Amino acid sequence: MSSKEKNGPKLPDPVELAKTWEAIAAKTRTLIEGFVAKHAQAPEGGPQETGSRAAEAAILLRPLQTFIERTGKDPSRLVAAQIGFWQDTLTLWQRAGMRAMGLQAEPVIKPSKGDKRFQDEAWSENPVFDFIKQSYLLTAKYVAESLPANEAISTAGGDQRGQQLEFYARQFVDAMSPTNFAATNPAVLRETVDSGGENLVNGLKNLLDDLERGKGKLRIKMTDLERFEVGKNVGTSAGKVVFENELMQLIQYEPATDTVYEKPLLIIPPWINKFYILDLQPKNSFIKWAVEQGHTVFVISWVNPGSSLSEKRFDDYLLEGPLAALDAIEQATGVRGANLVGYCLGGTLLSCTMAYLAAKGDNRAKSATYFAALADFSEPGELGLFIDDEHLALIDQQMERDGYLDGATMASTFNALRSNDLIWSFVINNYLMGKQPFPFDLLYWNSDSTRMPKAMHRFYLREMYVKNRLVEAGGITLDGVAIDLGAVQTPACIISTKDDHIAPWQATYRSVHLYGGPVRFLLGGSGHIAGIINPPGANKYGYWSHIGANGEFPASADAWFEGAQYQEGSWWPEWKSWVRRYGGKKIAARIPGEGGLSIIEDAPGRYVQMGDLT
């Protein structure tokens, strides 16, 4: 046995470490005193802010009450979990003793595949840290197994209290990981001694900066915000803003080919984020790629609304968004009709647009493509955990105060769905290791949050997430028109992603049974962003496709998947073959500003620059 296997990687001397902690305390005292002096004034918000925090605490307590009530009725699960925990813990102690004597011992439990937290070699080669790791993993396992709601939440449509209990338990377990604490993270301990404690001093500076940037609330910096600028090194595809109204600017992109399809392509991104996720860098820009395939591409760039737009309704996003864009495109090109693409919430709006046009007898939409978009909200995934009466009341309270839902609130919710990747990894890097986050375009975009107008967001949450009325013929009415997805005869292509935690693919699959016209369904690998932004050149993830007999789809998503064929690479080329059927003949390429609309300004335009990202 090698000395490295016997003793593990070299760790700091305890005496040296104690001296380092003492030096850190002296340095950090000055930083904390300066921060407190600067922010000695009472925080903004007053009683209303205090009431909001009290309501948040009450919401967190309800899942705990559920646990107590259900455990009282049936304690057998908790008892079984405790017995299993103690048996495995005893085995762990025995094997830890064997390792301490230099003997080989198989681990009692290992991190799950894909768990990146324990990659440092000390977690497996040093007996002490291996014991800490396994103790934590065993605790996490039995916390999950002790939940009395476990069977209920594993089934579709399980009770919401049980789902919240499981979610918050997982949040707590993730927060308690030994990787998140300086004294139990071997990499942090080594860095502390090697740098003389400068990592923790720098980490405190980073923490205070994030508190300052969040105006008293922690707003974790995920990337080097100074390294990116929209229009300079992200969102750089050449184009012009040719139309605008209160809610959006319409960008027409410059052609990359001598000829283009007669029918333009209109992309409707979500207004919950900014459009340049589809144009991050030239190598992964869906917009640039679509232009290179011979499409005249138009993209909606939504405004980042303030309180002055608080009464904008979902109807207004329909009228001033895709419908206004279709009118403007006809003016710009002289051609009536376009192929439409909607991403996420933009795809939900596209569903409404298609039904609205069908009700009006308007055939301008030649095809509709849905990227990771929900129309049936019966299984909205973990986002649905935040949409019950208590959470809605809390959201309403904030929106009544401000006129909108703050973008940082939405970002925090999304980040919590993947807390190890989007919260705790940055706590370790920024605050414990004292490093600056790596410059990453996707995380810059993720940090560039947008607000939701009060009236629109209230309608969206209640009528779609809570009541699921979009699937009912005439269940919702927009601009006086009853929305019926079954009346839509336009060809549709639904693109979903297998690991989507925002729009679960089993839920998006339900849309194949909602539309009245021919439908294609493609399932990309990876998640809500990476599975969509998956250019052919990257050769990543792959996708599944399946065409049923006579174009019919199985009733369930699982049955569809069983008959689907896996394809290597990106789904983009297959979608290209599908959408070109509806593009019409080839004509000379169109130049922005040379049609019926004048140029307002260069892409990406003013609206995408609006925000509080600093």
- Three-class DSSP category at 51: helix
Q: Output the CA angle 425-431-435, nearest 5 degrees.
A: 85
The rounded percent of the chain whose pLDDT value lies above 70 is 85
In one letter, which amino acid is 232? K
Question: How do residues 304-332 score in pLDDT, each as one tens digit?
Answer: 999 999 999 999 999 999 999 999 999 99
Q: Output the CA angle 155-158-159, nearest 5 degrees.
A: 160
Q: Are 417 and 503 in contact (CB under 8 A)?
A: no
Retrieve residue 489's tokens. Answer: 């005869």
CA 604 to CA 78: how far, in whole Å? 56
**pLDDT computed for residue 524 by the predictor:** 97
Measure Cα distances from 348 to 198, 352, 372, 375 in Å: 49, 7, 9, 6
Question: How do residues 61-83 score in pLDDT, each as one tens digit?
Answer: 666 666 666 666 667 777 787 78
Retrieve residue 37's tokens. Answer: 């002096």
User: Which residues, in sequence order, are CB contacts of 87 under 8 Å at separation 6+?
Assistant: none
Question: How do residues 136-158 score in pLDDT, each as one tens digit?
Answer: 999 999 888 877 654 433 333 34
- Three-class DSSP category at 524: strand
- Three-class DSSP category at 369: strand
Question: How do residues 152-200 score in pLDDT, each as one tens digit?
Answer: 333 333 467 777 888 888 888 999 999 999 999 999 999 998 988 889 8
* Residue 522 pLDDT grade (very low, low, confident, very high; cuts 50, 70, 90): very high
Q: Are 193 and 16 in contact (CB under 8 A)?
A: yes
**pLDDT computed for residue 369 by the predictor:** 98
Neighbouring C-beta atoms of residue 211, cutoff 10 Å: 15
CATH of domain 239-386+448-609: 3.40.50.1820
Alpha helices (H) in 376-510, listed in sequence order: 389-402, 407-416, 419, 425-426, 441-447, 454-459, 505-509
**pLDDT computed for residue 271 by the predictor:** 95
Q: Using the 8-state DSSP alphabet, how is residue 230 labeled? A: B
**pLDDT computed for residue 3 by the predictor:** 43
User: Which residues, in sequence order, are CB contacts of 341 under 8 Å at separation 6+?
Assistant: 265, 266, 267, 268, 350, 368, 369, 370, 371
Residues of the chain with CATH 3.40.50.1820: 239-386+448-609
**pLDDT computed for residue 4 by the predictor:** 45
Can you name the residues that pair with 277 across neighbouring β-strands? Answer: none
- The DSSP secondary structure of 597-612, one letter per residue, reads S---EETT-SGGG-S-
CA 242 to CA 299: how far, in whole Å? 11
Retrieve residue 396's tokens. Answer: 């309403």
Active-site residues, by number, are: 344
Question: How do residues 352-379 score in pLDDT, each as one tens digit?
Answer: 999 999 999 999 999 999 999 999 999 8
In one letter, which amino acid is 540? K
Question: How do residues 194-230 score in pLDDT, each as one tens digit?
Answer: 988 889 889 988 988 888 888 777 889 999 999 999 9
**pLDDT computed for residue 440 by the predictor:** 93
pLDDT, mean over the chain: 87
